[in-house]
Structure 1
Amino acid sequence: MVSLEERVARLEARVEIEQLKYRYLRACDRKDPQGFRDCFVRAGADIDYGELGAFAEVEDLVRLFTEIALARREQGHLVLDMHHAVHPQIDFVSATEATGRWTLRFRQLNLAEETERVLCGEYEDRYVVEDGEWRLAKHHFRTLWSLTRPLPEGFRVEEGEFDDVVRG
């Protein structure tokens, strides 16, 4: 039988893993390369983003993220994203390792191509404790379906400030 102390520790770990995922999603939407990087293990991650590529080192992914997320023109960023992860399923392998599955609701405005993309997909993650904090060690994404359509004639996008990113 699992003790009350172990059950409480597992509940706390689940909350910490959920907070990790939310920090990751927020970093994506806020165009925060350092916050994005901080969600992953220091080295040796197993990352597969499907059409965007597979990566054995987080730094390669951070470079791609930075190129896409921070690309700008005079009017603002070229790509605006909205990530919402729902339906978490978190299973513990041990006190310092867990796996997770999440469904992603994603919306993107690509202002260079003048398109909107709506997508549904699945994350498959592995989390480990590193330096006392949960981090992503495996992060795979697969698209279940997507819709890309042109933005309507005369569309207008009002972009907020991304420089005031709240860290912590």
Structure 2
Amino acid sequence: MDERSVEQRLGDLERVEAIKALKYRYWRACDGKDPGAFRACFVSWGASIDFGVLGRFDDADRITEVFTDIALREVNGRPVIYDMHHGFHPHIELHSESEATGVWTLAFRQVNLLNGTETVSSGEYDDAYRFEDGGWRMSRCHYTVRWSITRPLASDTVVMQ
């Protein structure tokens, strides 16, 4: 039986839900091409970020620059990269009222009009979270691709926005 009080258990549930909301906000920022919202999901300084082929970073400022360059790239006034992040199967462990870790599964899809390709992949996030400045932020965000398929877009492919 759980020896904690109802208030303690409720507080833990609220922390877990706030961490889930943070991760969902992060993916919405990615898909919405919003560098400010993307950066706000990370601690103010010193995050450990490993996005494989996109690089490893010891602070969120540099990955925000990389994100901005990719997400906001346009040709003839139109975006050329379209992403879709669907995260699920969260497992959040609280270590204190201000520290937690979590793992997530990601289903990712990208249309790259520069290369004329579509990529579909699946991977896993290994995160750490810290309560900072009144909200939860990621202090570690490591992503590992489990599998990926990249295929050419058909010549008659139409991308609407």
TM-score interval, smaller chain: over 0.9
Unmatched 5+ stretches in structure 1: 160-168
Match of 2:25 in 1: 23
| Rounded Cα–Cα distance in structure 2 between residues aligned with 1:16 and 1:3 | 20
1:16-165 correspondence to structure 2 within 5 Å: 16-74=18-76, 76-159=78-161
| Rounded Cα–Cα distance in structure 2 between residues aligned with 1:45 and 1:122 | 18
| Rounded Cα–Cα distance in structure 2 between residues aligned with 1:147 and 1:109 | 12
Give the residue type in structure 2 aligned to 1:43.
W
Q: How many residues align?
A: 159
TM norm structure 1: 0.93
**Secondary structure, aligned partner of 2:95:** strand
- 1:88-119 superposed Cα distances (whole Å, 9 cap, x missing partner): 00001111111000000000000000000000
How high is the sequence identity, in percent, across the aligned residues? 48
**Secondary structure, aligned partner of 2:38:** helix
**Secondary structure, aligned partner of 2:62:** helix
| Rounded Cα–Cα distance in structure 2 between residues aligned with 1:135 and 1:71 | 27
CA RMSD across the alignment: 0.7
TM norm structure 2: 0.97
**Secondary structure, aligned partner of 1:37:** helix
